[in-house]
């Protein structure tokens, strides 16, 4: 794969996170000799704004790279070594519906967790499969670097069809929060880490190779404001912030007038207005939240391109890491990444108290992937019944009807 020039395409380039990629690539010009970045999006207005901003931003960073724009996905993919996918099928308007429908039935309304994540998966997996077909045809040696949510389900749907790294910045949260709590370098922090995307736990934490003390673990637990500290201490593991939707269900039923999706729609009007006139990342972007993706994505590309062993948390087939799950089930786990691919690293077992929860959500995920790829509504219904945040047939039937009505444009 080694070449003097790299073309990268970004599908869903109208995302406000695209400038992160430009910034990180500018910092890594020696390691990753990127000569062309093709920005692709179906929303021409957002694409035009992002192309203009990224061109100005790259110039300001001294990043001499050709940045093109297109609404033609195939044109973007041709000749690419890496295909970065960060799409939101249906835009934020679809996200709002994903959040509102569960809330109307007394369920958690969150875009990747529970019924909201289910709806998003049904809408997104078929599009990602189409992208994978284009990559197979037009750039068969390319890697898909995926940040499209729900990334675990998408990775499971595409595994075996293309080379894919399913990523999430959440794998770095335990490292960064522990380092911040203890005033140390994040690179000195390692841990066992296992579970699913947005359903994971970091445990057996070490600092420069020595086990973390109880006092240090308590300090790290203080950095979490989404899960009760006493529960964290009892588990002995730092959970994904998304575990709040499972451990504190009653508190997480939205009571405000706006969903997060509705808030994001308002924020992005301001952000894109600023992008259209700015040459540096606007302050309004900080209000959007999220981010942190480019560090992981670019490090993965560096490891693959330069055949350099890199430790990274990736969504990858289980292969016996979690013995209570099928070997082909995609989990989120530390891996060694290089030109040969992605190899999961054996982990100590996560706390027994969460085995059942992980298994139940994985059961739901595998059924959802099957439903999204086959179009079988019976399988979709069983997926909702299997999900621990739903788990009620009498709820699942009308819930699925509402989701399918929106999905089918009725």
Catalytic residues: 242
- Phi, psi angles (nearest 5°) of residue 226: -105, -25
DSSP readout, 138-181? H-TTPEEEE--SSHHHHHHHHBTTBEEEE--GGGGHHHHHHHHH
Q: HEC profile for 208-251?
A: CCEECCHHHHHHHHCCCCCCCHHHHHHHCCEECHHHHHHHCHHH
What is the Cα–Cα distance from 390 to 200, expressed in whole angstroms?
A: 20
What is the Cα–Cα distance from 242 to 108, expressed in whole angstroms?
A: 12
What is the Cα–Cα distance from 88 to 67, expressed in whole angstroms?
A: 22
Structure tokens at 63: 């990043």
Dmax of the chain from CA atoms?
A: 59
Beta bridge partners of 227: none
Name which of 370, 301, 320 is nearest 156 in CA terms. 370
């Amino acid at each position: 794969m080694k070449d003097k020039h790299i073309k990268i395409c970004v599908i869903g380039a109208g995302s406000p996170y695209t400038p992160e990629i430009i910034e990180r690539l500018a910092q890594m010009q020696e390691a990753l000799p990127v000569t062309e970045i093709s920005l692709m999006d179906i929303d021409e207005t957002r694409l035009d704004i992002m192309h203009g901003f990224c061109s100005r931003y790259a110039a300001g960073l001294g990043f001499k790279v050709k940045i093109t724009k297109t609404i033609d996905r195939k044109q973007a993919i041709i000749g690419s070594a890496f295909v970065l996918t960060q799409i939101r099928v249906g835009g934020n308007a679809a996200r709002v519906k994903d959040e509102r429908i569960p809330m109307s039935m007394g369920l958690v309304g969150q875009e990747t967790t529970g019924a909201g994540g289910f709806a998003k998966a049904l809408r997104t997996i078929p599009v990602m499969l189409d992208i994978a077909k284009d990559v197979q045809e037009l750039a068969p040696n390319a890697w898909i670097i995926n940040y499209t949510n729900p990334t675990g389900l998408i990775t499971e749907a595409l595994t075996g069809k293309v080379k894919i790294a399913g990523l999430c910045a959440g794998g770095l949260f335990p490292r960064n929060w522990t380092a911040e709590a203890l005033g140390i370098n994040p690179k000195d922090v390692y841990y066992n880490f296992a579970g699913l995307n947005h359903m994971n736990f970091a445990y057996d934490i070490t600092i420069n190779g020595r086990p973390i003390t109880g006092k240090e673990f308590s300090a790290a637990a203080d950095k979490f404001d989404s899960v009760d500290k006493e529960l964290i201490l009892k588990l002995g593991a730092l959970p994904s912030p998304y575990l709040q939707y499972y451990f504190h269900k009653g508190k997480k039923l939205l009571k405000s007038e706006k969903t997060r999706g509705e808030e994001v729609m308002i924020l992005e009007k301001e952000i894109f207005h600023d992008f259209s006139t700015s040459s540096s990342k606007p302050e309004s972007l900080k209000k959007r939240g999220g981010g942190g993706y480019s560090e992981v994505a670019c490090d993965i590309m560096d490891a693959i391109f330069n055949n350099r062993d890199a430790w990274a948390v990736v969504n990858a087939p289980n292969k016996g890491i979690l013995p209570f799950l099928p070997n082909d089930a995609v989990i989120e786990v530390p891996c060694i990444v290089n030109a040969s691919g992605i190899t999961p690293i054996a982990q100590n077992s996560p706390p027994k108290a969460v085995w059942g929860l992980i298994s139940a959500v994985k059961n739901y995920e595998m059924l959802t992937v099957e439903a999204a790829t086959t179009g079988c509504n019976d399988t979709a219904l069983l997926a909702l019944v299997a999900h621990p945040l739903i788990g009620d047939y009498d709820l699942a039937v009308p819930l699925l009807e509402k989701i399918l009505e929106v999905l089918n444009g009725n």
